[in-house]
A and B are shown apart, each in its own frame.
Chain A
Amino acid sequence: MGNVLVLAEHRQGELRDITFEMLALAPSVAGALGGEVMVLLIGSGVDKMAEKIASYGLKVLVVDDPLFADYNSDKYQKVLSAVIDDYKPKLVMLGQTAQGVDLAPALAVEKKLPFVADIIGLDVEDGVLKATRQIYSGKVNAQIAFKPADTCLVTVREAAFEAPEPAGQGAVEKIDSPLKEDLDYRKFVEYIEAEVGDVDITQSEILVGIGRGLKEDKNLPVAEELAQVMKADLCGSRAACDAGWLPPDRQVGTSGKTVKPKLYLCMGISGAFQHVAGIKGAKTIVAINKDPNAPIFAVAHYAIIDDLHKVVPKLTEKLKELKG
């Protein structure tokens, strides 16, 4: 049987979107492999989450134990390892998230599973699993085939698939925890919430975004002056915040903020998926970048393919004139 095992991801009592996004991909793969989808949910007091997943018409395997009150990759690995032995799925699917990245590679090594990380597509051709993933920050796609194996492993990129609607009623099956005591080598300590800054960019109506293409902090006025005339707040990609051009609370993307302005004008941002995932709610996107193949142009409504340092100062000047 070619069953697909999906690991449900949740944090602070909420199932994360990636769980449902994987349910968009898993059924077609399971169908092509002649099996069914099973979702593994690990936690403590997770009945409601289990019911919610079951409402997608799927079988849910639940390990519900106080030992899993907080997330711990090593504890999860113990459960996954035992479930793979017992249920022998053909494919195991995790999210390419802070959880999945901390867990999947170790599981692959332990169980000797062929593993492809951060996939955006998965097909079955003549019984062979073929994954698609991006390299060079989305500028090149790679097709990777799995050699024959009892169980294969993938992690799925966040926001690459659209979550389906619930359909049908699945079954919840509780299984015993293979973990009997806490681990002494890795302990969860606490969560620390992000600091709140002077401007909440998630509420901004107009945003000017800067990225690596700005080159250095002495060019910051180029963006600041434009933002001023547009009455916009400044935000940036991870590169811009890592470089210290902007404080961390201005970072847009999966590890930063998700924004929903009416207008987002970005410059020197190539549009890595982590950034694009954070601007999906923007109504109008204007992108200025000198690489015609920059992924940002796939989501932009207006595109200027040019050097921002030549275009933006002139744009600021023109907007000043037009707005009087």
Chain B
Amino acid sequence: MKIFTCIKYVPDTSEAEVKLNPEGTAVDSSRFSFDINDADNYAVEESVLIKEKQGGSVTVVSIGPKQSEVMIRMAMAKGCDNAIRIEDERIAAHDPLMVARVIAGAIKGQDFDLVLTGCMANDYGQAVTGVALAEILGVPHAAYVKKVEIEDGKVKAHRELEGGLMEVVELTIPAVLTIQTGINEPRYAPIRGIREAQKKELKVVNLDDLGVAAGDVDADASQIILEKLYIPEVESKAEIIEGDPDEKAEKLASILVKGGLV
């Protein structure tokens, strides 16, 4: 199996307060820590699991800055074989259809059996790139995949639907799967793997190297315009319980008990 696994370097904003730049055109990411996107971490693990079972190789593809090489090396430490990092300021990163075109440019023309992506990114949360990539590559796809079975040159993908229901679909290979979190238990990179990863090939390319015309993937090519960002007002009707942690706990306990809630 020749597998391409697409990963993204994203800021961790789960518990951080998010601020915008003064122009309201970008998020001030200077205070965030960055790491692999949650779902992509599971995609890396799944691709390595498939390789361990079926043999073959895993190539990591990522669009991102130099700093993201730490993440890429970590994926290689876990068992991916080589990597392509794409960096080019001309890419319209706000439009996942443009991003998909760039990634397709890195994969097209090479033999592959599977392309795995995370199903959704923590930052923009569009859940578009993987399925768009499949259409560009002209291969079948399944989104939100929570289990992968490969037999007789076909892949059975269990898609997670709403309410915990699974839909099993059978695809011919090659195919693109967008991987849902929770599909596996991502491993920790072994020390030996971390050492070996330093020696694995990590190619850094731009659009010209990929043979992708900038005019096909830049802001002019994109059919959408990101006009502005703003922090939504949280219209909270909540009673905010004030004090130091102990006082807050005490007040809440009394509200719960006196209100007959517990």
Residue numbers of A with Cβ under 8 A of B are 11, 16, 71-74, 96-99, 101-106, 108-110, 112-118, 130, 133-147, 149, 158, 184-194, 206, 212-213, 229-232, 238-239, 241-242, 244, 248-249, 251, 254-258, 262-263, 268, 270, 284, 286-287, 289-293, 295, 297-298, 300-307, 310-312, 314-315, 317-319, 321-323
Q: Let me know if B164 and A322 touch, CB within 8 A.
A: no
Which residue of B172, B234, B237, B262 contacts A293 across the interface (Cβ within 8 Å)? B234
A158 to B127, CA, bound (A): 14
6 cross-chain CB contacts under 8 A = A108-B128, A135-B125, A136-B11, A136-B18, A140-B230, A193-B164
Known: A101-B127, A140-B231. A189 touches B156 (CB 8 A): yes
- Which of the segments B48-56, B197-205, B247-255 contacts the partner chain? B247-255
Report B12 CB to chain A, min CB distance, Å.
10
Which residue of A105, A114, A290, A314 contacts B96 across the interface (Cβ within 8 Å)? A105
Q: Let me know if A140 and B229 touch, CB within 8 A.
A: yes
Chain B interface bracket (under 10, 10 to 19, 20 to 34, 35 or more) = 35 or more
Residues of B contacting A: mostly: mixed
Q: Let me know if A293 and B17 touch, CB within 8 A.
A: yes
A104 to B131, CA, bound (A): 8
Q: Let me know if B163 and A286 touch, CB within 8 A.
A: no
A323 to B240, CA, bound (A): 23
| Residues from chain A with Cβ under 8 Å of B140 in the complex | 74, 185-186
Which residue of A115, A186, A302, A321 contacts B171 across the interface (Cβ within 8 Å)? A186
Query: Is B213 positioned at the interface, with any CB of A under 8 Å from its CB?
Result: no
Q: Let me know if A186 and B234 touch, CB within 8 A.
A: no
* Nearest-CB residue, chain A, relative to B18: A139
Report B157 CB to chain A, min CB distance, Å.
9
Report B18 CB to chain A, min CB distance, Å.
4
Query: Is B181 positioned at the interface, with any CB of A under 8 Å from its CB?
Result: yes
Known: A231-B262, A249-B164. A118 touches B127 (CB 8 A): yes
Report B94 CB to chain A, min CB distance, Å.
8
| Residues from chain B with Cβ under 8 Å of A134 in the complex | 125, 232
A231 to B261, CA, bound (A): 11
Interface string of B213-234 (1 = CB under 8 A from A): 0000000001111111111101
Known: A188-B167, A191-B167, A263-B262. A146 touches B238 (CB 8 A): no
Q: Let me know if B165 and A116 touch, CB within 8 A.
A: no
- Which of the segments B72-80, B141-149, B187-195 contacts the partner chain? B141-149
Among A72, A206, A311, max chain B CB count under 10 A is at: A311
Q: Let me know if B236 and A302 touch, CB within 8 A.
A: no
Q: Let me know if B159 and A102 touch, CB within 8 A.
A: yes
Q: Let me know if A291 and B16 touch, CB within 8 A.
A: yes
Which residue of A101, A244, A262 contacts B144 across the interface (Cβ within 8 Å)? A101
